[in-house]
Amino acid sequence: MKPQLAAYIEADQVKFVYKDFVLDQHRPRAQWAAEATQCAADQGKYWAYHDHLFANQKTWTKDELKQYAQGLGMNTTEFNQCLDKGKHTDTVDAMTKEAKNMKLGGTPTFFINGRQVDFNAFVANPKALIDAELKK
């Protein structure tokens, strides 16, 4: 979704925020994947890792997650320590708690100016929804 918003972001019209929301039925692998993405962010590779992760939805074992980091040219010692020690467990847990407190039931969920928007409408034509909001 981020590439579709690039022009708005570059023009400083839209702030794009992506937060992890680990659904209980996807634990523990989704938790590891979310934490791994945060470890990638430590090396400036958040989006590259994120995109690779979703293009390769296998079992998301810790070994696979580490292989992804290696394939993206990250410092694997740093990445592996980050993931193995759970450096970002609290961060991911806090984002998940926030989503649960908002009573969100799934992912992805989109908001414009704090209002939840229909997923299908946003995916079908995010430009129309954003342009309408910018005119207000």
Average pLDDT of the residues in 39-54: 95
Note the pLDDT of residue 120.
85
| pLDDT band at residue 3 under the 50/70/90 scheme | low
List the structure tokens of 3: 């590439």
As a whole number, the mean pLDDT across the chain is: 90
Residue (of 50, 52, 40) closest to 88 by Cα position? 40
Residue type, 35: E
Average pLDDT of the residues in 30-38: 96
What's the domain count of the chain?
Answer: 1
- Decide which of 86 and 135 is more confident: 86
Residue 52 lies in domain: 2-135
CATH code at position 36:
3.40.30.10
Average pLDDT of the residues in 29-48: 96
pLDDT single digits (tens) 50-109: 999 989 887 889 999 999 999 999 999 999 999 999 999 999 999 999 999 999 888 888
| pLDDT band at residue 2 under the 50/70/90 scheme | low
List the structure tokens of 117: 């928007």
Residue type, 72: L
